[in-house]
């Protein structure tokens, strides 16, 4: 066993020392795999960023209520009587003056031109003036809160960075004419930062809507038992036809469609590029072996076995692949981690601003793909070298 290990070490050292003499062909493997890993990590980090943005939206102690059968806010209609009835349901946290901590909201879309691009849908959320009490992660970072009964808007930081004309004092067409932007808010980078918030009663009047879209409430008891009890009280009330979800669960479900699409695209592109990188690795390793045929034959003639030859070639291919994966991952992290974009959420038909997230899990996937390409790219040339008859190898030119 020790003899085999020594042979592997000797052959591997000889193989690695010869890399500088064939640097150009070795770089084919490194650059090819770096490209595969870089593109794959960039696309997967896009999906990871989008998922993280929606998954971070909401709090476990808050619940969102939609009309029974509705899949999202855009398709939900809650009548005034139903919304008012929710106020009387036990289990909603109260303010110091005895008011339930809940929001009756209207969810609409408006078209705004992206910076340097075309018009796209942006969410307009008609909400109550005490929204900052219910969504306590939100804070005004510029300007002030909108005043009830006025056509005033506060815009999310993410929307402001992606769309034209959303600076303080500007006018934006929300419904039935221009509305004045009076403030900018942040919510910790979640999906609400891609929205415009206005006074709900004013928006209902301008859009000629009497119904609400959603009801959001803070639970008095956010434990599983407390949530279940509150949900049972709502779903068994004959006056209501509402479904209840915790906020994080609802928003996480809104990321499924686009995340699956981006992941599918990332893996498809990676497979296509990996095939090219694999052929490059095969050609490079076959070429490397052809220049070392006599050397390999000599080693075999003096007693070296076929296994050390195979393992040494695999080690070389894996090290080149690993170098390529580290370069590709580093480039993807440098250029894309934290890069902010907005894209159309195919489940809500609105733009969501988010940042790419090059996570350890995404990087590990890139490394695994690189190692797999390197292993396959080195395996077949290694087997060919090990099976080459010694006499034929020694006669090679």
**Residue 155 forms beta bridges with which residues?**
184, 196
Mean pLDDT of all residues in 18-25 = 65
The predicted model scores a pTM of 0.72
What is the pLDDT averaged over residues 218-240?
88
Contact predicate 325/273, CB 8 Å: no
Tokens linked to 77: 């209609």
In which band, very low, low, confident or very high, does the pLDDT at 286 lie, cut at 50, 70 and 90? low
pLDDT of 349 > 80? The answer is: no
- 163-174 as b/e: b if 16+ CB within 10 A: beebeeeeebeb
Residue 35 has pLDDT above 90, yes or no: no
Q: Residue 199: which of 247, 147, 161 has the closest Cα?
A: 147
Token look-up 């910076």 returns: 115
At residue 261, does pLDDT exceed 90?
A: no
**Contact call for residues 234 and 244 (beta carbons, < 8 A):** yes
Give the C-alpha distances (Å, rounded to integers) separating 133 from 99, 100, 291, 344: 12, 11, 73, 29
Summary mean pLDDT of the chain? 81
Element (H, E) at 185: strand 178-186
Backbone angle region of 69, left / alpha / beta, with phi > 0 → left and psi within -120 to 50 → alpha? left
Highest mean pLDDT among 1-15, 140-154, 233-247: 140-154
Q: How confident is the model at residue 198 (pLDDT cuts 50, 70, 90)?
A: very high
| Reduced DSSP (H G I as helix, E B as strand, rest coil) percent helix, strand, coil of the chain, to 5 | 55, 20, 25
What's the whole-number mean pLDDT along residues 178-198?
90
Say what the pLDDT of residue 58 is. Answer: 74
């Amino acid at each position: 066993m020790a003899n085999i290990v020594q042979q592997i070490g000797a052959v591997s050292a000889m193989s690695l020392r010869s890399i500088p003499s064939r640097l150009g062909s070795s770089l084919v493997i490194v650059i090819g795999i770096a490209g595969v890993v870089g593109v794959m990590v960039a696309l997967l980090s896009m999906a990871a960023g989008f998922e993280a943005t929606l998954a971070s939206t909401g709090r476990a102690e808050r619940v969102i209520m939609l009309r029974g059968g509705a899949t999202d806010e855009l398709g939900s209609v809650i009548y005034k009587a139903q919304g008012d009835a929710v106020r009387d349901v036990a289990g909603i946290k109260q303010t110091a003056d005895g008011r339930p901590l809940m929001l009756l909201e209207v969810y609409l879309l408006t078209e705004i031109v992206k910076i340097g691009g075309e018009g796209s849908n942006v969410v307009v959320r008609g909400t109550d003036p005490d929204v900052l009490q219910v969504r306590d992660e939100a804070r005004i970072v510029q300007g002030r809160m909108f005043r009830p009964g006025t056509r005033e808007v506060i815009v999310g930081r993410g929307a402001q960075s992606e769309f034209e004309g959303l600076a303080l004092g500007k006018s934006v067409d929300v419904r039935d004419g221009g509305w004045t932007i009076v403030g900018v808010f942040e919510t910790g980078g979640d999906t609400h930062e891609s929205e415009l918030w206005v006074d709900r009663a004013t928006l209902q009047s301008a859009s000629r809507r009497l119904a609400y879209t959603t009801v959001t409430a803070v639970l008095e008891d956010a434990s599983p038992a407390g949530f279940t009890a509150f949900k049972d009280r709502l779903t068994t009330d004959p006056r209501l036809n509402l479904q209840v979800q915790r906020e994080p669960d609802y928003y996480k479900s809104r990321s499924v469609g686009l995340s699956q699409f981006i992941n599918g695209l990332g893996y498809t592109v990676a497979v296509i590029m990996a095939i090219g990188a694999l052929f490059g690795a095969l050609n490079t390793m076959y070429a490397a072996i052809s220049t070392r045929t006599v050397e390999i034959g000599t080693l075999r003639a003096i007693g070296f076995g076929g296994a050390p030859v195979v393992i040494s070639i695999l080690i070389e291919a894996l090290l080149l692949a690993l170098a390529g994966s580290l370069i590709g991952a580093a480039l993807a992290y440098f250029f894309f981690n934290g890069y902010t974009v907005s894209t159309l959420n195919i489940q809500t038909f609105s733009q969501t601003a988010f940042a790419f997230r090059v996570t350890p899990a995404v990087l590990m996937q890139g490394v695994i793909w690189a190692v797999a390409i390197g292993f396959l790219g080195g395996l077949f040339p290694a087997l060919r070298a090990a099976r080459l008859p010694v006499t034929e190898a020694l006669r090679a030119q």
